[in-house]
Amino acid sequence: MRKYLISLFTLMLTAGYIVAQDKPAEKKDSAAAPAYIGIKKCSICHKGEAKGNVHEKWLATEHANAYKVLVDKKDGSEKKAECLECHTTGFNKGGYVLDAANAAEFEGIQCEACHGPGSDFRPLHNKDIEAAKKVGFIPKPTEEKCVECHNKKSPTFKGFKYEEFHKKIDHRYRQAEKKG
Ligand code: HEC
Ligand code: HEC
Ligand code: HEC
Ligand code: HEC
């Protein structure tokens, strides 16, 4: 009798196991777009003299101020999608969402506006650049990235010259590559 009970128990366990296996596996959304994580999570490593003062250099550019100029207009521009799309980071693409509780984390033109949304590449990019690129990392943004915002849709547009404009935002510190 005891033996019978044990095998019945085993059978039930096995059946339970099979049922569990048959359940459609929790759909792991590996194809989901990477999310924006905000500048604090980049600058934690990319600040200070030893790290090339990247954060400090960024802070001195107009990109750091790009949300504030909307507020300063005092005409509600900071509530308009047609302004926010170029004056915030990841607007409606997983970054800035108007009136969201965490909206302030994505004000202005931050690292991720040029280097790509960081959720997936951040743990990879300092170890394996190729793998990081596959999940949205842009190690060397080019003119193509800039003109997503620097174009005629901007009400203040007066033209864009990559060389000239890049000089004003340059935060390269690894000398050997600077020449390349
Ligand atoms: C845990 C620390 C850490 C965090 C957080 C971090 N980085 Fe980095 N990142 C590094 C290190 C280390 C390197 C290699 C830098 C070097 O060799 O001087 C690097 C390199 C880079 C490079 C240059 C890649 C290349 O080799 O051409 C870029 C661009 C970059 N990071 C952007 C970002 C962005 C954007 C974020 C936020 C989404 C971020 N990093 C967050 C540590 C970090
Ligand atoms: C297509 C992207 C884009 C859109 C849309 C956009 N801007 Fe801008 N904005 C820029 C860029 C790029 C600059 C830097 C100067 C330039 O080249 O236009 C800028 C600069 C500014 C400046 C500061 C510089 C100056 O000359 O006054 C203000 C203020 C401004 N924009 C307000 C607005 C307002 C208000 C709206 C919405 C009605 C808006 N922008 C929509 C991209 C954009
Ligand atoms: C307006 C676009 C833009 C923004 C914003 C921006 N970067 Fe960059 N970043 C670039 C470009 C362009 C390069 C140079 C690519 C090349 O080598 O041609 C670069 C290069 C780098 C490098 C490599 C430096 C080196 O010496 O090779 C690091 C690290 C980096 N950025 C990190 C950051 C971090 C961290 C932030 C935010 C604090 C940031 N970037 C914001 C466009 C941007
Ligand atoms: C997501 C939108 C966006 C991207 C991408 C972007 N910018 Fe900008 N940029 C702006 C806005 C908005 C301003 C105006 C900010 C302000 O006036 O406060 C600006 C201002 C500037 C300025 C100052 C303009 C001036 O008249 O002096 C420079 C220089 C600049 N950007 C260079 C670049 C370069 C180089 C790239 C590409 C590597 C780039 N930007 C990518 C939105 C963007």
Find the mean pLDDT for residues 16-43: 67
Ligand 3 pocket residue status of 86, Cβ below 6 Å: no
**47 vs 60: CA distance, rounded Å:** 13
pLDDT value at residue 3: 57
**17 vs 168: CA distance, rounded Å:** 62
**153 CA → ligand 3 middle, Å:** 24
Domains of the chain, by residue range, sit at: 40-173
Q: Closest Cα to residue 78, out of 117, 108, 37, 39?
A: 108
Q: Nearest ligand, CA of residue 59? A: 3
Contact 117, 138 (CB under 8 A): no
- Please tell me the CATH superfamily of domain 40-173, with its number: Flavocytochrome C3; Chain A (1.10.1130.10)
Q: What is the pLDDT of residues 91-148, one digit of tens each?
A: 999 999 999 999 999 999 999 999 999 999 999 999 999 999 999 999 999 999 999 9
Ligand 4 pocket residue status of 86, Cβ below 6 Å: yes
In this prediction, residue 175 has a pLDDT band, given cuts at 50, 70 and 90, of: confident
Both tokens of 52, joined, read: 């090339």
